[in-house]
Structure 1
Amino acid sequence: MQTKSEFSHWEKEILIYPCDLADVTQIREVSEKIKNEVGNVDILINNAGVVTGKYFHEHTHENIEQSMLINSCAPMHLTLEFLPEMMVRNHGAVCTVASSAGLISNPKMSVYAASKWAAVGWSDSVRLEMKQLGKNISFTTIMPFFINTGMFDGVKSKILPMLDPEKTSERIIRAIEKERKMLAMPLPYWFIRFSQGILPLSVFDWVMRDVLGIYDTMKEFKGRG
């Protein structure tokens, strides 16, 4: 597999466990296999995602279901498989790579945004639960702008550049190491929330649409095909 070949230079063995993350039965079976063959999981990174870049009325029911299952439900199911053991050992880290679409609404991303808003709310809620329960388990929620991996081919950004995959990965790793609660990039989380809180919605829309060009980013979206 491509992923395994990319890490072929590593001295340690890389294990690959294919899984359809839209299928909770497969998630449970593969997770059990990992626990039996590898053992305890110290760091879980929920990173898989899909996007359907079109207006909501153009979606099919299948589009909606796939987006919600993979972007929202899969991180919950996966975490539920590994979190209890982390809690017993009182050690672990869970990182969920959501999206800046989990903070800002955007045309032609309605279902994607809904799935990412759900992921952000869930991840940060469990972070608070772990703190309330006195567990030494960090939850980090990542909310990046478009990352240049091919998933968002065709996206046009007026001011904000697409993020470099390598540099973004490094920032995510550092965020996990430092037990950051939230990391949004390139616009910081606090700036987005602060702007939403103090600006009238019409003014916020104007900034997103006419100043930053966010609302037009998906007009020529193609994706990976």
Structure 2
Amino acid sequence: MSRQVVGVTLDNLEDLPRHCRKCVYWEVAPHLRGQVEEFGETELEKEAWVSSVLLEWGSCGRLLYSNKLPVGFVLYAPPTVVPRAGAFPTSPASPDAVLLTAFHVQPEFRGGGIGRALVQEVAKDLTRRGVRAIEAFGDAQPESRAEGEHHCVVPAGFLTRVGFKTVRPHPRWPRLRLELRAGILWKEDVESALEQLLGQVSVSTAGSSGFARS
């Protein structure tokens, strides 16, 4: 099974699951959400939000494909451009952190490490950009939602399993944080560079024709 992770852009936004593509839970202020949904403008609002963040801040999401099939995605951005962020009882998010917002893995692909892989990709991207931490508002009681209901807040249990720590407890909406360690990413980059260098040396040695003759 081959996997590929790419940045979310306006060109691949349609690869999000349909209910996620139309959801503006994070992207629109709570008091305006009902109005946007009533007039059927959610997809336009989602596209406008992604476009704005891409232009003003840069990459704000990752899509994971398995054998060219989109099976999971994550969105993230500075808290200042996430209208929903201020509505949680455990807000505000820390000013040195980027907020993980929408996160989804197709049900039939859960349990295979795709969620963890997406978090790792976000961590790599943000570490290279000098960000100190990722924060997220978690749902501590995901079992309380109605059967079949799509929910837009990541279960707190999943966040703790992939390394997040609770920084502000709450019975339903805790805020969690993942510290980003630049040293680990530096080690990965050095190892990758060494592998490429050793590969080039091997090719050069294999192609040598022996000692030059006078």
- Give the alignment's TM-score, normalised by structure 2: 0.30
Structure number with the bigger relative contact order (C-alpha 8 A, sep ≥ 6) is 1
Larger radius of gyration: 2
- Give the alignment's TM-score, normalised by structure 1: 0.29
More strand by share: 2
More helix by share: 1
